[in-house]
Amino acid sequence: MLPREKLLKRGLSVLSDIELLQILIGSGVKGRNFRQISKSVMLEIQKSIKSQSQINLKKLTTIDGVGEVVAMRVTAGIELGKRVYGIYDNEIIRITDSQSAYTIFKDMQNLKRERVDIICLNSRFEYISRESIALGSLNCANLSPREVAYTALINNSAFIILAHNHPSGDSTPSKEDVELTKNLNDGLNLIGIQLLDHIVIGLNSWKSITV
C-alpha cells in the first residue's frame, strides 16, 4: 500500500518516518523511485541530527531526485515539527531515561485505539527514528515480536524503547504487557539489541515495565 493510500485509510499515526517523507517528496525521477530518494533524504537528516547541525537545504539538493522545491518542503516540515513538538531539541537528542522517552511518546495519550511505537537509538543513545509498528482494537494491539526486531535492525539500532497506550487512560501494565516485555527482551538479546524500556502511556500518566 502506498503511503498516501495508507494515510487515507488508516491515518497519519501509522506511517513510518520514511513513509511521511515519501508523501513530502511525492514522486521519483528516472532511475530512482520516491522510496529510494526518501531513504537518501532520511540518511542526510539523521547525519544532521547526530552532529546537532541544521538541515542544509543546499546539501539536500545534491541528492539525486531532490530539487529546491522538494528540499524546501522537507526542511519546512522538519522546522514545523521542531517548533510544535520539540522532538529534536538538544536536551532530548540523547535519550538515556524513561522520562525523556515519555516526552516523545506523550502524544499517544489521547488515542482511541491501542498503538505500539518504538524509538530506535544508536550506541550513544542518540535518537535515530520513531516508528509506529502496530495498531490494535480498543483493548489489544496486535504486536508481532518479529516486527519489533525488523524495525530495530533496519534502523541499525543498538537500543530501543517501546511504548504503547491504554485507551482507558489507566497506565497500569497488564500481566500480558509484562509477559510480552519479557519475551521481547529475550528475543532482542539474541540479536544484540537491548530493550531499554517498555512504557505504558495513560492519560497524563505513564508506567515503566522493566525486566
CATH code, domain carrying 126: 3.40.140.10
Tell me which of 85, 113, 143 is where a domain ends: 85
99 and 189 in a single domain? The answer is yes
73 and 23 in a single domain? The answer is yes
80 and 96 in a single domain? The answer is no
Burial of 198 (C-beta count, 10 Å sphere; 0-12/13-18/19+):
buried
114 and 199 in a single domain? The answer is yes
Interval 50-96: pLDDT, tens? 676 777 788 888 888 888 888 888 888 877 776 666 555 554 478 88
144 and 44 in a single domain? The answer is no
200 and 163 in a single domain? The answer is yes
73 and 103 in a single domain? The answer is no
Q: Residue 164: pLDDT above 70?
A: yes
Interval 28-53: pLDDT, tens? 766 788 788 888 888 888 777 767 67
For residue 26, what pLDDT is reported? 77
- Phi and psi, residue 3, nearest 5°: -55, -40
Please check whether residue 156 is in contact with residue 129, taking contact to mean a CB–CB distance below 8 angstroms.
no
For residue 137, what pLDDT is reported? 64
76 and 118 in a single domain? The answer is no
Read off the pTM.
0.60
97 and 182 in a single domain? The answer is yes
7 and 40 in a single domain? The answer is yes
Q: 165 in helix, strand or coil?
A: strand
Range of the domain at 10: 3-85
Interval 168-207: pLDDT, tens? 999 999 999 999 999 999 999 999 999 999 999 999 999 9
- Phi and psi, residue 94, nearest 5°: -100, 125
For residue 4, what pLDDT is reported? 83
CA angle (109 as vertex; 174, 159 as ends), nearest 5: 70
- The whole-number average pLDDT for the span 110-134 is 89
Q: Residue 27: pLDDT above 90?
A: no
For residue 138, what pLDDT is reported? 54
119 and 197 in a single domain? The answer is yes
Number of domains in the chain: 2
Question: By C-alpha distance, which of 134, 89, 138 is closest to 116?
Answer: 134
